[in-house]
Structure 1
C-alpha cells in the first residue's frame, strides 16, 4: 500500500483546479471521498504506476483521501486461502473505498494478468456484503505504441460485472515512454489534461452518489429472492 504523502508534490498548474467546496455545498462533505487506485504492472519503471500516481496527486488536490494498492506479493487467485494477508488487505480496501481508479497497460490487446488478478481476488459477495457494488470507477490505460481503447473497454466490462458505476470519461495514453520524464512525472500535454478531466469527473460523481448507492443498487429480483428465503425459513420452522 502506497501512501500519497510519499509522492512528489502536484504541479503548480493544478492550483487553478477547483476543489471539493466548489463542486458541492461544504456542509455536504462529511468526509473526503475515499478512492482506491489499482495498477497493472510490476516493472520497476511502470508507466501504469506512474499514471496512477499522477491520478492520485490530482485526487488529493481535489480533496480526496487516496490509497494505491501495491500488487506485488498478491498471489494468484485461488492459490492461497482467503485469509492470506495481501488478499485481506485488498478486500478491506475495497470495502473502505467509495470510488476506484483502475489503470492497466495493454498486453496482447487486453488487460495484464497483474490487473486481472487484483479484480479476480474480489468476490461479488462476501457473506451479506457486495464489496464492489455501488462504488464509482474510473478506467485508464497506457499503450506502448499507438493509442487504443482495448484495455479501457475491458475494464468497463469488468466494472459493470462488479456492479460498479463507471464514469463516462476515460484516459488512454499512447507511447507512454514519451509521456513521462526520468522521475516518473507525466509531461504537460493534452493527455495529462484528460487525466485531470477524468479524476475531476470521478470526484464529482463519487460525491453525487454518496448516500444513494444503496437505493440505486436495490433490485426487485433480489428483494423477491430475500422474501422467498424468509418464507422458506418460516415453513421449515413449522
Structure 2
C-alpha cells in the first residue's frame, strides 16, 4: 500500500502547521510499515494551469505520476477565505492531464480530508476538497478532521493535543482498513 499525503498549504517554513500535521500523520503510517509519499505543494513549483500548452511541464508530469500511483491519499489544507488555497486547486486542476489514462483522474482512489483554520470554519475547506475529490472520481472517506488551530497544540506548543492525535489515528486506521478492502471492480472501470 502506498499512501500519498498531499500537503496543499502554500507556506514553506519550518515548524508550520502544515508540516507538523503532515509529519504526524506520516508517522502513523510508517509505524505500520506503510510506504508514505508526501507531496508538498509549497516546494512543487507548479505553473498555472495551461490547457493550450503543447507540452506538459515536467513538474506537472511528476505530480500526475505521484497522484495516480498512490493507493490512498490524505489531503491537508488550511482554510483560505472559505475554501482551499488557489494554488492547491491549480494543482488538482492539472490532473486533467490524466483524462486519457486507463484510470483517469483519481478513479478508485480513497481520499481522506484534513483542514485547519484559526476559527471553527475548517469544515468549509473540507466541503470544498470533498467536491473537488468527487469531481476527480475519488472515493472520499466519510470521516474528515476539521481542525481549530487554537486547540491543535498542547499549552507549551510542542505537541499535538491528545484530542487531535486520536482523530488523526482514527483517520489513518480507517484509511488502512478501507484501502486493504477496496478495489474498483473491473466492470466499473471507466471506458475511454
Shorter-chain TM-score: what band? 0.7 to 0.9
Stretches of structure 2 lacking an aligned partner (at least 5 in a row): none
**TM, length-normalised to structure 1:** 0.69
**Structure 1 gaps, min length 5:** 1-32, 227-238
Paired residues for 1:1-238 under 5 Å:
33-43=1-11, 44=13, 45-71=15-41, 72=43, 73-78=45-50, 82-123=55-96, 125-175=99-149, 179-180=152-153, 186-209=159-182, 212-215=183-186, 217-218=188-189, 222=191
Q: Is the 8 A contact 1:147 1:175 kept in 2?
A: no
Alpha-carbon offset, residue 167 of structure 1:
1.0
The SS at the match of 1:62 is coil
CA drift at 1:172: 1.1
1:121 and 1:76 mapped to 2: Cα distance? 9
Equivalent residue number for residue 20 of structure 1: none
Per-residue Cα deviation, 1:58-107 (whole angstroms, up to 9, x for no partner): 11112321100122211122186653221111111122211111010001
Which has the larger share of strand?
2
Aligned positions, number: 184
TM-score, normalised via structure 2 length? 0.84
Q: Which moved more, 1:45-54 or 1:102-111?
A: 45-54
